[in-house]
């Protein structure tokens, strides 16, 4: 069965909405089972959205296609399949991107999908990724992403409805030539979009009947996605659990942004050996690092970073802007060491031999974070450019080639730190990795892009140096690793989560909510994006 939903006329303005940085809820685990569905519903929805770009709010068309089961049983889980999200941004949006000297863009989408059953609701996050596409010389820009989505369980009889909500588009901007060292120069941009007020059926995507009876008197959906209980006064969801009449608020778990209740990550807290100050922050970072020679990417697991935020100082005079410069410093923190947790990766060496490696990135000095905020005097719009400079040496702990372990010894590492082309080499000499991010905020609007406090995406490109100290018992593996791994053009994309401001519990305010767990660890666990 195919369900098609037509687009409605685009609105003249976006629906007003409130946002807060890092609004996450405690989630509970779900035991997935196989859905007993009778057949697929093929859904194709075309919905009008309004997106906030640097030039202002612009209309956009979002097309969502997915296959849903026609029916499912109570207590059984299913996942929509074949999910594709296509965003068509107008020509004005393309002009915003080309103004940043971008020639191509790689998109990742995060669509909030409301799931409702009877009187209970939850929110699942549908994520998608796309390959880089060149910006068109004229006309609109179409971005198509695909990805797996959370499973959903109806806890009682009654229809499960799926409704499209807010959409975030993470754009990694680059030049057309990936071999160009300045390819990461344009940085990244996050575009926030809201469903238009006159969207057909208020964004309804699909309805899946659950069980054999009619709508039940109790129960709630349990999508394994980022969930937030919702409701209105008098519907029972704002009452204490013992006062609810059988309605269990949706508490769900997704393999995506984590929460304080489900922390499969290393601890990230200050202690007696690392006492905090009034400007101390901590955050988790994660991401992917390409290995160009091996035509693959290594996943960098969530890692703890302890940050000492600098004090802003007045920058150089400018007739159009007030400029403030801030220098902060940071260190990875893992088992009392300044390094990432160990991480594994599997590649095909020389296009045929499977290679499995366990690695770790270790600091040889503090990470320096330089942020320049420019506030336009005419409308107080701010633009913040941030450069993170990190001296990181890659250590190889274990190596397996075609199923055969190779003893690399205890000192296998790159000869020098990873090397990026620094935009200011005179002031920042030496070997180090450089990551760049840009954040923008229009007065009255939520910030987009990367800011140190709220996090976001940083990107860069590195040369992997030659290896040294690899091998034991007279077996020299340096040349093997250098030939198969070392070289330039390795793109890196890092995602930092919302920081926890350690002083926040001492000076509580609404902006501190959702930053820290009770034991002062970062509340948000970010998700790596390709």
Is 90 exceeded by the pLDDT of residue 285? yes
The string of DSSP codes covering 420-449 is ---S-TTTS-SS-EEEEEEEEE-TTS--EE
Give residue for tokens 């002083």.
Answer: 503
Residue 83 buriedness (CB in 10 A; 0-12 / 13-18 / 19+)? buried
Number of H helices, E strands in the chain: 2, 30
Of the candidates 448, 433, 440, the one whose C-alpha atom is nearest the C-alpha of residue 494 is: 433
Res 530: pLDDT: 67
Residue with the two structure tokens 């990795």: 433
For the segment 350-374, what is each residue's pLDDT rounded down to a tens digit?
Answer: 555 677 889 999 999 999 999 999 9
What average pLDDT does this structure show over 160-188? 72
Average pLDDT of the chain is: 78
Nearest alpha carbon to residue 291 among 338, 340, 359, 391: 359
- Of the pLDDT bands very low, low, confident and very high (cuts 50, 70, 90), residue 519 is confident
**Residues 377-420: tens digit of each pLDDT:** 888 889 999 999 999 999 999 988 877 888 999 999 999 999 99
Tell me how far apart the alpha carbons of residues 56 and 191 are, in angstroms, rounded to a whole number: 11
151 CB contacts (<8 Å, ≥6 apart)? 30, 32, 77, 78, 79, 223, 224
Close Cβ partners of 163 (under 8 Å, ≥ 6 residues apart): 113, 114, 115, 116, 202, 203, 204, 205
- Residue 63 pLDDT exceeds 50: yes
Q: What is the per-residue pLDDT across 204-239, written as a single tens digit (0 to 9) for each?
A: 999 999 876 444 333 344 444 333 333 333 333 333
- The model's pLDDT over 8-56, given as tens digits with 9 standing for 90+, comes to 333 333 322 222 222 222 222 222 222 333 457 899 999 999 999 888 8
CA separation, residue 331 to residues 259, 280, 308, 396, 496 (Å): 22, 12, 9, 20, 14
Res. 182 pLDDT band, cuts 50 70 90: very low
Query: Which of the pair, 250 or 23, is modelled with greater confidence?
Result: 250
Task: Quickly state the pLDDT bin for 518 (edges 50, 70, 90).
Answer: confident
Which segment of 283-297, 377-391, 417-431 scores lowest on mean pLDDT? Answer: 283-297
Task: Report which DSSP code applies to 239.
Answer: S
Average pLDDT over residues 74-100: 87
Provide the pLDDT for residue 388: 97
pLDDT of residue 223: 45
Indicate the length of the chain as a whole number.
530
pLDDT grade, residue 274 (50/70/90)? confident
DSSP one-letter code for 525: B
Tokens at 442, concatenated? 């229009």
For residue 441, the model assigns a pLDDT of 83
Band (pLDDT 50/70/90 cuts) for residue 163 is very high
In degrees, rounded to 5, the angle at the alpha carbon of residue 103 between the alpha carbons of residues 101 and 104 is 130
Q: Kindly list the domain boundaries of the chain, sorted by start residue.
A: 2-8+26-232, 280-512
Digit-coded pLDDT (tens) for 143-162: 999 876 777 877 778 888 99
């Amino acid at each position: 069965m195919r369900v098609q939903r037509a687009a409605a006329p685009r609105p003249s303005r976006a629906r007003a909405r409130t946002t807060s940085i890092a609004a996450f809820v405690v989630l509970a685990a779900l035991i997935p089972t196989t859905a007993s569905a009778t057949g697929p519903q093929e859904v194709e929805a075309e919905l009008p959205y309004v997106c906030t770009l640097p030039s202002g709010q612009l209309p956009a068309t979002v097309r969502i296609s997915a296959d849903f089961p026609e029916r499912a049983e109570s207590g059984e889980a299913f996942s929509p399949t074949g999910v594709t999200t296509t965003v068509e941004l107008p020509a004005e949006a393309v002009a915003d991107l080309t103004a940043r000297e971008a020639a191509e863009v790689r998109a990742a989408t995060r669509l909030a999908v409301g799931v409702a059953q009877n009187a209970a609701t939850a929110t699942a996050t549908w994520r998608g990724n796309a390959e880089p596409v060149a910006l068109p010389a004229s006309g609109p820009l179409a971005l198509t992403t695909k990805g797996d989505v959370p499973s959903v369980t109806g806890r009682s009889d009654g229809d499960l409805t799926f409704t499209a909500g807010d959409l975030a588009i993470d754009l990694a901007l680059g030049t057309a030539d990936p071999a160009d060292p300045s390819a990461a120069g344009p940085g990244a941009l996050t575009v926030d979009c809201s469903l238009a007020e006159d969207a057909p059926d208020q964004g309804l995507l699909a309805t899946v009947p659950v069980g054999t009876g009619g709508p039940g008197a109790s129960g709630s959906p349990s999508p394994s996605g980022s969930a937030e209980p919702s409701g209105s006064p008098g519907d029972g969801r704002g009452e204490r659990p013992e006062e609810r009449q059988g309605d269990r608020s949706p508490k769900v778990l997704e393999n995506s942004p984590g929460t304080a209740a489900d922390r499969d990550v290393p601890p990230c807290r200050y202690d007696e050996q690392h006492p905090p100050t009034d400007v101390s922050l901590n955050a988790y970072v994660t991401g992917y690092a390409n290995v160009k020679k091996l035509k693959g990417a290594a996943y960098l697991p969530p890692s703890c970073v302890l940050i000492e935020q600098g004090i802003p100082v007045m920058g150089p005079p400018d007739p159009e802007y007030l400029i403030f410069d801030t220098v902060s410093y940071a260190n990875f923190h893992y088992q009392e060491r300044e390094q990432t947790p160990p991480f594994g990766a599997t590649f095909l060496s020389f296009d045929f031999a499977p290679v499995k490696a366990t690695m770790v990135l270790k600091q040889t000095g503090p990470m320096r974070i330089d942020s320049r905020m420019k506030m336009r005097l005419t409308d107080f719009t701010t633009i913040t450019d941030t450069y993170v400079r990190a001296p990181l040496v890659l250590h190889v702990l274990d190596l397996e080639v075609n199923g055969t372990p190779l003893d690399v010894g205890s000192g296998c590492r790159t000869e020098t730190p990873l090397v990026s082309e620094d935009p200011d080499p005179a002031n920042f000499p030496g070997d180090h990795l450089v990551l760049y991010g840009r954040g923008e905020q229009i007065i009255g609007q939520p910030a987009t892009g990367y800011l140190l406090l709220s996090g976001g995406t940083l990107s860069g490109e590195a040369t992997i140096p030659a290896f040294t100290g690899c091998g034991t018992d007279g077996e020299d593996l340096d040349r093997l690793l250098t030939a198969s791994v070392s070289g330039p053009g390795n793109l890196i994309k890092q995602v930092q989560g919302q920081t926890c401001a350690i002083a926040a519990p001492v000076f509580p305010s609404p902006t501190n909510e959702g930053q820290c767990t009770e034991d002062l660890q970062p509340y948000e666990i970010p998700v790596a994006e390709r």
